[in-house]
Amino acid sequence: MISTRWLVVLRHARLAQGRLVLMTLALAASGAALTTMLVTYSVLNREVSRNYLSTHPASVQMVLDQVDEGLAHTVAHFPSIADAEPSSVMRGRILLNNGSARSALLFVIPHLGQSRINTVRLVAGSWPRSPDGIVLERSAFGLADATLGQPIKVQVANLPPVALQVVASVHDPSLAPAWQEQTVYGYVSPEAAFALSGDANLHILKLIVESPTVTQLDIVETARAVAQRLAKSGHVVQEIRVPPPRTHPHQAQMMTLLVMLVGFSVLGLLLGSILAASIMEGFLAQRARDIALLKAVGATTGQISAQYLTLLAAVALLATGLSLPLGLWAAHGWASASAALLNLDIRSNAPPIRIILTIVAAGLLVPLGIALYAILRTSRCTVRDALGDRDISRPSTWSSVFLRLLIRTRLFSTEAAYALRNAFRRPGRVALGVALLAIAGGIFIASENLRTAWTANIAASAAQRHYEVEIDLENTESRERRGGKTGQRPVQKLIAQQSPRDKWRLDTGLRRKAMPNSRPVMIGIQFCKAVGKFTMPTLVKVST
């Protein structure tokens, strides 16, 4: 049997079903948003790290004139170096059957399948046993129009294309998806690289420094020391790359976005809780007389507060119960979509238990905390005040002053002035209403600002892009190398021949890409036609 004082609350709840449903929905919606964002954040944070660290990422990539396995073996015994491996990277293109081509980034690895640094996971097929084999990143198959076991034509610079057999599909979590970068990722042996470019030399020395807890500065110091030793032994160190240790290249971007969304979801929970508190305040105001009667027959403030806090806790618990599966489902979708964008595999969508506990605690405590004032205020109301309607009818000093001011301004009729005064009579309710509107307005303005800033940022980035077409040329001299001499260069000639009436202009800042083996030069061309349809010029021949 249930005690009658709890029966009172249950019957009150039954009378206010609509309000309670609204409170539950408000809390469930905001709780679901918080669950979605917190779980997505925690799952992605964990899975991004797990995926990336599973590749044993290099602490340092050093671009040298030439690297071989002997040098790597020597460097691996340098102080603070845990391991070293040689490799290289080539830019090329995959020639499709329809005559078009795709950019390709070819990683040259001496012993595919036996790498210890920047490893990839075999998804299908087997590691190449002959020089004519190529391994493709799993996301690159569609872009390269490739099938496992079938050959693809690979071309480096303007050398003759070479047919390489696609022997395996691998997953490389350190790379963005191929479709995103519009680049086919391939892994070839030095022999295949030689067949493609005539250059079998490796140029990148990958290093792993000892102690996984070292900072980026420590790694830089170690890399400098290695570079100095290599320079002394006659090697040319062209570039030293030290990425943030143990961090996926896109991790910071993803996490920043998620933290921002977690912030919004916290505001959403506050909003839902204030709405729930506001509804609770109205509900209690309706029940003030019953509460006074409970006190008249012996109920204490604590008992009454506990009764209504329990009711709200039950609503909050129900809302949290509803929001958790909804939020987990949404988080699963969000994390999966984000993982696809980052080319990651999610091993488990299960959030850490501390995150679930945090969500449950927030779902319970935030609404209770915000409604506490309203509940205590009603529970503390004296029997005399509640039975005599004094709590409602007695205007506070400030509301009387407010009324007098309203009437004196003569902007409102007396009826309107009284209506306004009544709207502001209960300061607690006014505060909740103002807080509700302020948070809602804050969320709206913040999201609008964010959207505008985002759009503006993308527009600014697009505006700063000074060309519409990128052409990679082999062995083209940069303007800097030519000592700033101007004059019509091959590309200009080509463009002049192709579209003489269109005003094309070469980007004055030619950019060299540091690709030691192929040394392509990227030329930006700005399309200057004020009016007209953009027409892609047909690249017939580029000579230098």
Partner 1 sequence: MTIDPPEKPTHVIRLQNVARQFATPAGTVSALKGIDLHIAPGEGVAVVGRSGSGKTTLLNLLTGIDRPSSGEVEVAGRLLQAMSEDELAIWRRRSVGVVFQFFHLLPTLTVLENVLLPMDLATFSHFSDRRTRAHALLDNLGIADQAHKLPADLSGGQQQRAAIARALANDPPVIVADEPTGNLDTVTAEEVIRLLASLPQQGKTVVIVSHERDVSKYFTRIVTLEDGCLVPDSSQVTR
Please give the C-alpha separations between residue 250 and each of 247, 341, 429, 444, in angstroms, as whole numbers.
Answer: 8, 10, 46, 28
| Residue in 302, 325, 441, 532 binding partner 1, rule: CB under 8 A | 302
CB nearer to partner 1: pick between 7 and 438: 7
Based on the shown chain and the rule CB under 8 A, indicate whether residue 5 belongs to the binding site for partner 1.
yes
Give helix then strand counts, H and E, for the chain. Answer: 17, 14
- Give dist(CA 65, CA 487) in Å, integer: 32
- Give the phi and the psi of residue 96 in degrees, each rounded to 5: -90, 165
Contacts of partner 1 in 370-399 (CB under 8 A):
380, 382-384, 387
DSSP bridge partners of 471: 523
Return the residue matching tokens 């204030």: 274
> Binding string to partner 1 for residues 335 to 374, with x set by CB under 8 A, is what?
----------------------------------------
Which 13-32 residues touch partner 1, going by CB under 8 A? 14-15
- Region near partner 1 per CB under 8 A, out of 69-77, 243-251, 295-303, 497-505: 295-303
Contact yes or no for 55/170 (Cβ under 8 A) = no
- For residue 339, which amino acid is it? A
| CA neighbor of 318 nearest in space, from 367, 282, 275, 354 | 367
Min CB(286)–partner 1 separation in Å: 12
Single out the residue of 231, 257, 259, 296 in contact with partner 1 (rule: CB under 8 A).
296
Closest approach of partner 1 to the CB of residue 292, in Å: 8
Residue 417 engages partner 1 in binding (rule: CB under 8 A)? no
Give the whole-angstrom CA distance, residue 147 versus residue 163: 13
Q: Which is nearer to partner 1, 286 or 413 (CB)?
A: 286
Q: Which is nearer to partner 1, 263 or 302 (CB)?
A: 302
Strand boundaries in 378-501, DSSP class E: 469-474
1 binds partner 1 (CB under 8 A): yes
Stretch that binds partner 1, among 244-252, 276-284, 299-307, 500-508 (CB under 8 A): 299-307
Nearer to partner 1, 287 or 332 (CB): 287
Least distance (Å) between residue 53 CB and partner 1: 59
Say how many residues touch partner 1, by CB under 8 A. 28
Q: Closer to partner 1 by CB, 310 or 336: give it.
A: 310
By C-alpha distance, which of 498, 497, 485 is closest to 535? 498
Q: Which of 99, 232, 233, 297 binds partner 1 (CB under 8 A)?
A: 297
- The distance of closest approach from Cβ of residue 418 to partner 1 in the complex, given in angstroms and rounded to an integer, is 16
Write the DSSP symbol of residue 300. Answer: -
Q: Which is nearer to partner 1, 301 or 499 (CB)?
A: 301
| 453 binds partner 1 per the rule CB under 8 A | no
| Cβ within 8 Å of residue 464, ≥6 positions away | none
Q: Please state the closest distance from residue 391 (CB atom) to partner 1, in A.
A: 14
Q: Does 294 bind partner 1 (CB under 8 A)?
A: yes
Q: Which residues contact 252 (CB under 8 A, 6 or more apart)?
A: 244
Find the DSSP H helices in 343-426.
353-380, 383-387, 390-393, 397-409, 414-423
Q: Which residue, 11 or 347, has its beta carbon nearer to partner 1?
A: 11
**Positive or negative, the Cα torsion across 178, 184, 185, 186?**
positive
Q: Which is nearer to partner 1, 101 or 293 (CB)?
A: 293
Contact call for residues 143 and 178 (beta carbons, < 8 A): yes
Q: Which is nearer to partner 1, 241 or 289 (CB)?
A: 289
* Sign of the torsion angle spanned by Cα atoms 137, 141, 143, 145: positive
In the bound state with partner 1, the residue whose beta carbon lies nearer, of 393 and 538, is 393
Q: How far is the CB of 367 from partner 1 (least distance, A)?
A: 24
Using CB under 8 A as the binding rule, whether residue 536 contacts partner 1 is answered as no
Q: How far apart are CA 179 and CA 193, in angstroms?
A: 24
Rg (CA), the chain: 34
Question: CB 303 → partner 1: shortest distance, Å?
Answer: 7
The answer to whether residue 306 forms part of the interface with partner 1 (CB under 8 A) is no
Residue 422 or 457 having the CB closest to partner 1: 422
Residue 410 corresponds to which amino acid? R
Nearest to 86 by CA among 49, 123, 44, 115: 115
Q: Tell me the one-letter amino acid at 488.
A: Q
| Site for partner 1 contains 298 (CB under 8 A) | yes
CB of 277 to partner 1, least distance (A): 23
- Residue 451 touches partner 1, criterion: CB under 8 A: no
DSSP string for residues in 151-172: EEEEE-TTSPPEEEEEEEEEE-
Binding site for partner 1 (CB under 8 A): 1, 3-5, 7-8, 11-12, 14-15, 289-290, 293-303, 380, 382-384, 387
